[in-house]
Chain A
């Protein structure tokens, strides 16, 4: 997987983009947009929502580009904006209200997890995708930030505005849930089509 945080662009392209050159901005977009959208998609799951947050992230990125201080790779700076946007969504009252409405299911409605985002030909990764999809959005974000993006518990706690123990407990519960998911299949209820 391409890590957004490790991705950079040449100093010359960056300088031109900061000066407002559209071709340079397009070059940066080509270099960073795929990994950015992938990161957002992994964090929030849903495609339409991911595109919305992606658009917001890239707009903020270009607005703030002249303020980029070159202390880290450009991708790391963009990653910070993307994660911040994802967490803003997770914390928003509208999302909480929607979660509440989603929780009020009609009797008999199927309790299904969101579909995995990886296409089904991807072999082993489909299992990991399905397992991730069983986690709550907050737990999935914590797992992704800790395990893949390399954030520490302190950094995650700061991003969420919560305590370090919040991050640790979210991660521990997510690990337990993922282990349970990968328990042998014969322990789990099978799903057959009649």
Chain B
């Protein structure tokens, strides 16, 4: 043990005796130069937070519109009639890989946000519910060998909803990170 550390006030004395020339500050001219630079960057950088705020507000508005204002997708499989060709799987096109990536990203997020806010929560649960409905419809359509065009329409609608969900949850992670 340090010979004096157990004595009353020994640590304070040792700390106060540390040399104070550990770092010589730059001169006043350099200080003024840096201050001017920082003031300029503050002025020009002031738009950044405003743009970020506008982007988050835009995403939230789109999500709310989709939740409360967008037309509900029609259950097109319910009106399917006519001949069904066995084994005609729908071509989901180039959207499938990106949708998989989006879903992987969504799966990597915590199931429930640490702090649930009513606005976000309503949008997220609304979108998740509609995606689940579409999943049911898609499963039914595939099981019944539905028309490829209608299955494709359902698949595209699902991709659009997953994209919206990604945007809402991304905005949520940004908002959490900035807190």
Contact = CB atoms under 8 A, between A and B. Distances in A.
B122 to A, nearest CB: 26
B50 interface: no
B19 A125 contact: yes
A35 B18 CA distance: 12
Contacts, number: 88
- Most A CB contacts (10 A, CB to CB) among B5, B6, B14, B35 go to B14
Interface residues of A, number: 44
A62 to B, nearest CB: 8
Q: DSSP class of B's interface residues: helix, strand, loop or mixed?
A: loop
Contact of A55 (B11, B19, B38, B178): B38
Contact of B28 (A25, A127, A143, A175): A25
A38 B5 contact: no
A33 B11 contact: no
Contacts of A56: 38
A12 interface: no
Contacts of B25: 33-34, 36-37, 51, 54
Contacts of A26: 28
Given A117-B23, A184-B1, A93 B31 contact: no
Interface string A1-22: 1100000000000000000000
Contacts of B12: 147-148
B177 interface: yes
Interface in A164-178: 175, 178
A79 interface: no
Contacts of B15: 128, 132, 143-144, 147-148
B29 to A, nearest CB: 9
Given A26-B28, A38-B20, A182-B5, A59 B11 contact: no
B2 A1 contact: no
- Most A CB contacts (10 A, CB to CB) among B6, B12, B19, B35 go to B19
A178 B14 CA distance: 12
A29 B22 contact: no
Q: Which 6 A-B pairs have the closest CB atoms?
A: A182-B2, A147-B12, A26-B28, A33-B25, A37-B25, A1-B20
Interface of B: 1-2, 5-6, 11-12, 14-26, 28, 31, 34-35, 38, 177-179
16 contacts: A1-B18, A1-B20, A30-B28, A33-B25, A33-B28, A42-B22, A51-B26, A55-B34, A59-B35, A59-B38, A93-B177, A117-B22, A118-B19, A129-B18, A175-B11, A179-B5
